Amino acid sequence: MPEAPQDFCAFCGSRLDDAAPLRSCTSCGRAAYRDPKVGVGAVVLDDAGRLLLVKRGIPPAKGLWSLPAGFVDADEDPRAAAAREALEETGLVVDVGDVVDVWAGGGGRASFFLAFRATVTGGTLQAGDDADEAEFFALDALPELAFPSTRAVAERLSTPA
Ligand SMILES: [Zn+2]
């Protein structure tokens, strides 16, 4: 494998010891923490009970459909991130509510993924940013879904409580 920046100490530039339980620098001994990448998504239903999905314009799973979703920025509130991604990808302003569930690795490149219930409060449906299309789908007529988390959300919504 080619060497990558994360293979080296951020303090002194020496190589990290991959064999150590907590990766540490072979020279100065400092620990190198690897932080998780957090993904969030919005679960939005319209008045007819249809689910809002976006067609992914970028890898992974390009061309497949997922919840409006993306990564949480540093110091960003996860709910604010979900609302931001929904607006960027669908043009809709949403009010973000309860957590539907949390998945480890369920959202593509995220280390873990949180899906929130969200309700539309404004905006106009129009795909943008990483999304090629944005559309509401009946739960019994969903397109091909991108991620295990997307499928789990769809399955849960389709199952009577
Ligand atoms: Zn070092």
Give tens-digit pLDDT for 21-76. Answer: 778 898 998 888 878 889 999 999 999 999 999 999 988 889 999 999 999 999 99
Strand partners for 31: 24
Distance from residue 157's CA to the centre of ligand 1 (Å): 49
Distance from residue 121's CA to the centre of ligand 1 (Å): 50
Are 149 and 86 part of one and the same domain?
yes
CA separation for the pair 149, 106 (Å, rounded)? 5
Are 27 and 92 part of one and the same domain?
no
Which residue among 88, 133, 135, 155 is the active-site one?
Answer: 133
Catalytic: 133? Answer: yes
- Give me the number of domains the chain comprises: 2
Distance from residue 136's CA to the centre of ligand 1 (Å): 51
Distance from residue 19's CA to the centre of ligand 1 (Å): 15
Are 105 and 142 part of one and the same domain?
yes
pTM, entire model: 0.83
Residues with a beta carbon under 5 angstroms from ion ligand 1: 9, 11-12, 14, 25, 27-28
Once rounded to an integer, what is the mean pLDDT over residues 120-143?
94
Are 66 and 120 part of one and the same domain?
yes
Residue 90, classed as helix, strand or coil, is: helix
Distance from residue 66's CA to the centre of ligand 1 (Å): 41
CA separation for the pair 127, 54 (Å, rounded)? 7
Are 121 and 53 part of one and the same domain?
yes
Are 91 and 152 part of one and the same domain?
yes
Buried b / exposed e over 29-55, threshold 16 CB at 10 Å, is eeebeeeeebbbbbbbbeeeebbbbbb
Are 73 and 112 part of one and the same domain?
yes
Domain that holds residue 42: 38-158
**Residue 48 token pair:** 């007819």
Average pLDDT, the chain: 89
Residue 85 sits at φ, ψ, to 5 deg, of -65, -40
Q: What percent of the chain has pLDDT over 90?
A: 58
* Positive or negative torsion for Cα 80, 86, 92, 95: negative
Residue 25, classed as helix, strand or coil, is: strand
Are 87 and 61 part of one and the same domain?
yes
Are 42 and 11 part of one and the same domain?
no
Count the Cβ atoms, other than its own, within 10 Å of residue 149. 28
Are 49 and 12 part of one and the same domain?
no
Q: What percent of the chain has pLDDT over 70?
A: 94
Are 54 and 66 part of one and the same domain?
yes
